[in-house]
Each structure stands twice: as structure tokens, then as C-alpha cells.
Amino acid sequence: MRLKSYFVHSVDEAIQRAKGELGGEAMLVDTKPLAALPGNRARVEVIFAAASQSPPPPPPVDSVVLAPCGTPETLTIERFRHTLTGLLDTLSEPPGSGKSAPDEVSSRAIELFCSRLVEAEVSAPLVRRLMADGKRFDPDLPTRSIDAAAILAAELPSQIASTTQPRRIAVLGPNGSGKSTVTAKLAYKLGLEKGIAPLVVSLDNIKIGASDQLSRLCRLLGVAFHSVECAGELQHVLEENEHRRLTLIDTPGLHQGDPHLAAELSECMNGRYAIERHLVMPASARFATMDTWFALAAPLTVDHLLFTRLDETALFGPMWSMAVSRNLPFSWVSSGPRIPEDIERADTSRICNSIAGGAFTQPPLRASAAHAGSSPT
């Protein structure tokens, strides 16, 4: 068995090269998106495995016999190899040579699905997990297409509407993720717009003047604002405002320089009052970066994921990967600086459709006043 990497612009290009160099039995085993140099197209590393010597051609479909002692994983790999081989053979035929059989069409759909996941920057372990599930891609079924969006949506955790009254929501996240602006947007969307007088509490007392921006926004909106100077004071403020139906808590930015900050915030928020904890991250970040931020926030026991800067990216694979890998639902998404227009309830179907339809074939997920809605949580 030998491995070979191809550094190309698309998975399809790698498949064609691997077929010519390694033979029809070459199997795709991994994909790794590569950082693009300025002015150049994005590239991807595609890794194939092949036998040391070229094996004989595969037998016809009707004569394939699977060993009864094989593990489920082995059977799945054999089926995927068969469908991939059929795809490559079909692509090598001249135009008009014959009508494609249903399993050949299904094979092309499988490979296209894999290509779209890679292009959308879905994390490599999740791509492998999806492609290894033979129940979705059974070549014996007369499936002529794959409902990629439905497959992606089925992996996401359910968004459950909150029934907690009153609501106390903590906005967490790394420096520069847009927490303060999101806090002001939610104060309007979940408070003023519904005739509720919210309270905004700032715990961001680490940097001098860190809460000044949020304080000014609250004054402009006519929202009550309170800055907490010490950890023990938060519970006292919550007790004094127990009657309020909505309290929003802004927090200092998490960063690698202070790995104990999340634990301190968790201790500050733990008490008699239940607090929803939403982790805010820019949608334009890579999955590895998001995962690092999540690790910093781990002591806070995050409940939901909230993404900002959707207008700065066309690749939603990292967002989807975070929700699936951490089993956390989306709450809101924000796509600009306007208050309150640029925030809306996360629409998982639009996110999944954008991934399934390719990186740039779907319109951007842009929040608007006409489509903005209340939170599902």
C-alpha cells in the first residue's frame, strides 16, 4: 500500500490524475484545504491510497461477492471504491457512448457531494465520517441524486425554543468577535421590539474603557445599563433586577494570554439564576481557529453558537462543522454593523443549502429587516 498527495485546485482534478498514475483502484482517503497565496486560487491537498502493484480490473457488479466475515467498515470501503471506480470509468468514455446506469449516476453524485464539502471547508474528519456511511450511498439503490442539504441538516442538533422566563443571556467569545454589538442588537430585538425593558450588564472591566462603547449604544437605544466591577457583584445585580424579563450580560474577550479567564467568568455566573451562554465567533474564521476559541470557553459550559460577520465569507463549512462536532445548536447570526437590522434567527436550511450548492452558487446569508426574527432559544 502506498500513499500519494496531489496539490490541485479541485478534487475532480486530483481524481483524474490519480486514475492515470495509480490505476482505477486508487482510493481517496483524505482532503486538506490549503491556504491560498494572494492573487491565487485556493488549493487543496488530496491524498490517495493504492496497492504497491496494480490489481486486476474489478469484476462486474453482478459477480461481486463480499466476504461474510468482513467488518461493516470494510464493506463500506469496498462499496465506495466500487462507486468511485464506476465514476472514473464513466468519465473516461467518449460522449454519447451510452446511457448511464442509475448506480453510475449515483456515483457521480457522491463524488460531487464530497467535492462540495471540501470546497465549503467542512472539517476533514466530518467529511470522512459522512462519506464512510454506506447507508446514505448504497449503489444497489436506484438513486439518481443525493439530497446533500438534507444529509447536512440531519447532522445538526435541534434548535429548541426557550421557555425560560425571565431570560438571562450571557454573550461570550474571543476578542474582536463583535460581542458588544451583538448584545445591543439582542437588547433591541428581544427587548424593545417586544415591548420589554431589558437590562444590559457589562463584565468587561479588564481593559480601561472596554464597556464605554456598549454604554453609549445603550444610551442611544434607551436601554438600562450597569457595569459590574467585581465578580461577586453580578449575582447581586441579578437579584436586584429579578423582576426584569430580559437581562443581557456582555463579557470580556477570551484570549490565549489569559487561559484562566473563562474559569473566572464561570465562577462569576454560577449561582441561583440560570444564565444562557452563547459563544460568539466570526463566521469568516477557519474551523481550527473556531475550535481553539471553543477550547478557551470550555469552562463556561456553552449552550449555543452565535456567528457574526456572515457578510465576510461565502464558506459556511466551518460553522456547520462546529455545530456538529460540538453538538451545539445555532442561535442567531449577524451579518453587519447595523442595529437592529443585521441580526436574525439562524436558518439552518439556508446554511446547509449554501454548503450543498457549492461555495458561491447560493446568495449570501445576509440579514435584513424584512427577514429578521426572534431567537429560537
For 346-377, write each residue's pLDDT tens digit: 999 999 999 988 543 344 444 443 343 444 44
Closest to 160 measured CA to CA, from 371, 317, 354, 376: 376
CA distance 317 to 48: 23
pLDDT the model gives residue 373: 40
pLDDT for res 65: 41
Q: Rounded CA gap, 17 and 22, in Å?
A: 8
Nearest to 198 by CA among 224, 167, 231: 224
Q: Tell me which fold the domain 167-356 belongs to.
A: Rossmann fold (3.40.50)
DSSP state of 191: I
This prediction's pTM: 0.67
Residue 289 has pLDDT above 60, yes or no: yes
Give the pLDDT of residue 52: 58
As a whole-number percent, the residues of the chain with pLDDT over 90 amount to 37
pLDDT in tens, 125-177: 999 888 877 556 555 444 445 678 888 999 999 877 776 789 999 999 998 89
Residue 202 DSSP code: E
pLDDT of residue 23: 79
**Structure-model confidence comparison of residues 49 and 90, the more confident one:** 49
For the chain, the domains span: 2-146, 167-356
Answer whether residue 46 shows pLDDT above 90: no
DSSP 63-103: G----TT--HHHHHHHHHHHHHHHHHHHHHSPTTS-PPPHH
SS3 131: helix
CB atoms within 10 A of CB 277: 20
Q: Higher pLDDT residue, 140 or 219?
A: 219
In the chain, DSSP finds a helix count (H) and a strand count (E) of: 12, 11
Indicate the average pLDDT of the chain.
78
Confirm if 121 and 317 have CB atoms less than 8 A apart. Answer: yes
Residue 280's DSSP bridge partners are: 306
User: Residue 231: pLDDT band by 50, 70, 90 thresholds?
Assistant: low
Condensed to tens digits (0 to 9), the pLDDT of residues 73-82 reads 444 555 555 5
Residues 355/320, Cβ–Cβ less than 8 Å: yes
